[in-house]
Amino acid sequence: MKRALISVTDKTGVVEFAKKLNEHGYEIISTGNTFKKLQENGVNVIQVEDVTNFPEILDGRVKTLNPYIHGGILYRRDEQSHVDTVKEHNIGSIDMVVVSLYDFEGAVRSGKSHEDIVENIDIGGPSMIRSASKNYKDVTVVVDIADYPMIIEKLEGEGLSLEDRKKLAYKAFSTTARYDALISSYFAGVLDDKYPDILNLTFEKNTELRYGENGHQRGFLYSQPNAKNPILNYEQLNGKELSFNNINDLSGCLEFMREFKDYDGVCSVAIKHANACGVGLGKTPLEAYTKCFESDKLSIFGGIVGITSTVDVATAKMLSEIFLEIVVAYDFEPEALEILKGKKNLRVLKIAKIEKSKQPYDLKYLDGKLLLQDKDLIESEKQEVVTKVAPTKEQLEDMDFGMKIVKNLKSNAIAIVKDGQTLAIGCGQTSRIWALSNAIENNKDLKRFEGAVLASDAFFPFDDCVRLAEKYGVKAVVQPGGSIKDEDSIKACDELGMTMVFTGVRHFKH
């Protein structure tokens, strides 16, 4: 007779599965509450201690860690010495192991005490899973309730093949690896070890995307199960599924929106290729979006628009006038949503109000290497006026606004802003003067630069940016400072009657 050991925390479907195993000639061995549930529901089941001849001890911490269990799982059926050993010691074979682990992840998420969380670290379960997985040629291991129907279907046919058992073992090893990674991450947090010598990260596949960055590339979305307050947390209300590029651009959009989470008003941002092409602040969603749209009426076409409020009817009407890939906001008035739904392919996303980032770092995977760094959460260390002319209150407000913009643009990055609106953006250039030149040349109405503020993500190595900006009416500059030629830019500002402020913090983003 074949035997199956069943010990599950998630008992969904286990009674029906066990009864089917009984029908196919399996004797069921079980533990604790799983045994009680199976017995109460008419399953032919025996307790683990009937096999081990040893009771559960230490509040259930030790029950399956026993040679009568692991010997029955691990012995090789094709190795005569193994067969002789288990026969000599009267160890019966265990041909199937069905285990779901203690809910460690749930204990952490629910905020239980450290002692309770530690008690939810499973020891016997992973041991049995790994034993069965190692011996997959002879033993079937089951860790996912979604596999119950497939296994029964196979048993009712020609049985489980070696390839079937290998796939189940692969899933099982992945399950225990994920479990250990979650435990490792938890203890790293307890000990405040932000950059451990061994970094264990685990991700789960959400979905396969239609394609990757380009049509010939496959694309997938994975999620980190223990991430706190993930920014890509949305409800899709309309439109076709999101693509790889949509999700990447959306992430950039939400990061911009996060910069203005505490703003006493509404921020609207338009994103194209993960960079902002327009940002506007206003008292209403319509005012904010209008300023955002008028920042760059050309580049916004086919982009993503984010709004940090509820979208009303007037704003929805204006949004629907052009082609957009995504509109994302905190909510939508019912009539506004119906207007947007009139464009069947427009993705309409509702997000929870954006909070402060709780992710510890940014990372980049580089072909076998992982670059890790702190998230860039600091805006400035100072507001040092370095010119003879001091900035006005309004200019200081626009400087703060401008630095929030360049902080989230690809370097080299500059932004010309005024009254809570971007007037011109230049980013991703190999020269800072080119970034500024492109921003200026791509704007037809240059008159609106009069009295504006120029923000730069890094210092000016020369005075060329100051002199070019002043030609078009820019009167104030904010930058980190720190160049050996800072004095050249300061002198140029004094000569031209401009004001300049140093923040002391560079914001490269590559």
pLDDT value of residue 229: 67
Distance CA 132, CA 94 (A): 9
Per this entry, what is the length of the chain?
510
The DSSP code sequence of 394-453 is: HHHHHHHHHHHHHTTSPSS-EEEE-SSBEEEEE-S-SSHHHHHHHHHHT-S-GGGGTT-E
Whether 305 and 269 have beta carbons less than 8 Å apart is answered as yes
Distance CA 169, CA 98 (A): 12
Integer CA distances (angstroms), 187 to 118, 124, 199, 360, in order: 10, 20, 12, 15
Distance CA 24, CA 43 (A): 13
CA 116 to chain centre: 27
Instruction: For residue 239, give both structure tokens.
Output: 């439109």
384-502 has CATH 3.90.76.10 classification: no
With residue 492 as reference, give the H or E element that holds it. helix 486-496
Task: State the burial class of residue 218 (Cβ atoms within 10 Å of its Cβ: 0-12, 13-18, 19+).
Answer: exposed
CATH architecture of 235-351: 3-Layer(aba) Sandwich (3.40)
Distance CA 254, CA 171 (A): 34
Strand 96-100 and strand 2-8: the pairing is: parallel
E-strand spans in 275-431? 275-282, 304-311, 326-332, 347-351, 361-366, 369-374, 384-385, 414-417, 422-426
Domain 2-190: homologous superfamily in CATH:
Methylglyoxal synthase-like domain (3.40.50.1380)
Q: Is the dihedral of CA 398, 399, 400, 403 positive or negative?
A: positive
**Is 82 marked active-site?**
no
Residue 283 is classified by DSSP as S
Whether 259 and 407 have beta carbons less than 8 Å apart is answered as yes
- The reply to whether 384-502 shares the fold of 2-190 is no
Instruction: For residue 334, give both structure tokens.
Output: 């019912």
Gap between the terminal Cα atoms of the chain: 63
Strand 266-272 and strand 234-238: the pairing is: unpaired
pLDDT value of residue 305: 97
Omega cis (within 30) before 238: no
Instruction: For residue 101, give both structure tokens.
Output: 């682990």
Distance CA 229, CA 135 (A): 40
Distance CA 412, CA 258 (A): 22
What are the residue ranges spanned by the domains of the chain?
2-190, 235-351, 384-502
With residue 455 as reference, give the H or E element that holds it. strand 453-456
pLDDT value of residue 149: 95
CA 8 to chain centre: 29
Integer CA distances (angstroms), 126 to 45, 122, 338, 374, in order: 22, 7, 51, 34
Residue of 273, 343, 350, 509 marked active site: 273
Whether 277 and 423 have beta carbons less than 8 Å apart is answered as no
Instruction: For residue 372, give both structure tokens.
Output: 């890790």
Taking 70 as the pLDDT cut, the residues of the chain under it are 60, 229, 444, 446-447
**Is 273 marked active-site?**
yes
Residue of 19, 134, 154, 509 marked active site: 134
Instruction: For residue 66, give both structure tokens.
Output: 């026993």
Q: Which residues of 261-278 are buried (b: 16+ CB within 10 A; e: fewer)?
A: eebeebbbbbbbebbbbb
Q: Specify the residue for token string 């990757």.
A: 212
Strand 453-456 and strand 26-30: the pairing is: unpaired
Tens digit of pLDDT for each residue in 146-202? Answer: 999 999 999 999 899 999 999 999 999 999 999 999 999 999 989 989 889 999 989
pLDDT value of residue 88: 86
Which among 31, 35, 36 has a CA at the least distance from the CA of 69? 31
Whether 137 and 162 have beta carbons less than 8 Å apart is answered as yes
Which among 195, 202, 196, 197 has a CA at the least distance from the CA of 180? 202
For 508, phi then psi, to 5°, come to: -60, 140
